[in-house]
Amino acid sequence: MTVDAGAGPATRRRRRPELIVLRLLPGHSPVHRLWAGTKLLVVVALAVLVSVRPSWTSLAVAAAFVAVGALVARVPAGAVPRLPRWVFVLLGVNAVLTLRAGRPPLAHVGTLALSLGGLEDFLLFTGLAVVLLSAALLVGWTTPLGEVAPALATLAAPLRRLRVPVDEWVVAVGLAIRSLPLLVDEIRTLIAVTRLRRPPLRDRTLSRDRVRAAAREIQGVLGTAVVVALRRARDLADAIDARGGVSARAASSRPRRGDIIVLAATVAVVAAAIVV
């Protein structure tokens, strides 16, 4: 068997990393065994922390929670999403624009006054957003989708006394969560088909025709994605009606002793970070 050495690097460049979102990673770590409601409450506690006290201390505490959880759950490096380059380009442009925000302290370079305070705020809030998104991804990697709805039913049980339609909400959320991976797969398939149908670009210079072609392509993908989503929603609604609808009470689950310990430690650390 012969191997073309010259085609190796080009093939590696053409391969795109797979985006693993809302997919359970195999494992039997303590994070995998935690109750789904515990993980959701930890994420909510971190969100409250960074909302009430947005500071570098809060960022460090939230990042430590996510890092420890990822290490204990043994999340492989390949599961971390690879963002496209244009995301980093936009972040860089925003960072440059915040230098003209005018918030002190200011650094004077010739006649320009650069806002170091604005740049610090931009970096802080960007870091907080990344940490919260990482926490949400960690929950998705370590929690089966079928356990989310029962956990939500348990957490929202006190609202039944106020005549809140908890069961309907829980069923709707559970169906939405289970449908998201299907929608992601459909969009990935549509994008792959569009790339296969696209003719090879010989002239890579930016022109009005290329911009219009790209806009038409995006419009076609979005329209097809909406049609596919509606078709799947209709099929799912028919299946639910065939099983008697969503009037039945949603199943619930209960935390264990380890979950109580984790929640108590989380509340103590978050409260200390807010007070200090």
Residue 134 resides in a domain: yes
**Range with top average pLDDT, 11-20, 146-155, 219-228:** 146-155
Please report which confidence band the pLDDT of residue 72 belongs to, taking 50, 70 and 90 as the band edges: very high
CB-based burial of residue 93 (10 Å sphere; 0-12 exposed, 13-18 middle, 19+ buried)? Answer: exposed
Q: What is the pLDDT of residue 183?
A: 74
Range of the domain at 58: 19-144+254-275
- 160: DSSP letter: G
Residue 11 resides in a domain: no
- 53: DSSP letter: S
Residue 65 resides in a domain: yes
Question: b or e along 58-73 (b: 16 or more beta carbons within 10 Å of the residue's beta carbon)?
Answer: bbebbbebbeebbeeb
Whether residue 173 contacts residue 149, with contact meaning beta carbons closer than 8 Å, is answered with yes
Total domain count, the chain: 1
Considering the entire predicted model, what is its pTM? 0.74
Quick check: 1 pLDDT over 50? no
The proportion of the chain whose per-residue pLDDT surpasses 70, expressed as a percent, equals 83
DSSP string computed for 99-126: TTS-PSSEEEETTEEEEHHHHHHHHHHH
Residue 166 resides in a domain: no
Residue 102 resides in a domain: yes
Give 184-191 contacts, CB < 8 A, sequence gap 24+: 184/19, 184/21, 184/22, 186/225, 186/228, 186/229, 186/232, 187/221, 187/225, 190/221, 190/224, 190/225, 190/228, 191/221
Residue 138 resides in a domain: yes
**CA pair distance 147, 269, nearest whole angstrom:** 26
Residue 26 resides in a domain: yes
Beta bridge partners of 107: 114
pLDDT digits (tens, 9 = 90+) for 120-172: 888 999 999 999 999 988 998 898 888 888 888 888 888 888 888 888 888 88
Both tokens assigned to 29: 């770590």
Beta bridge partners of 267: none
Query: Residue with structure tokens 């994605």?
Result: 225
Residue 137 resides in a domain: yes
**CA pair distance 162, 49, nearest whole angstrom:** 28
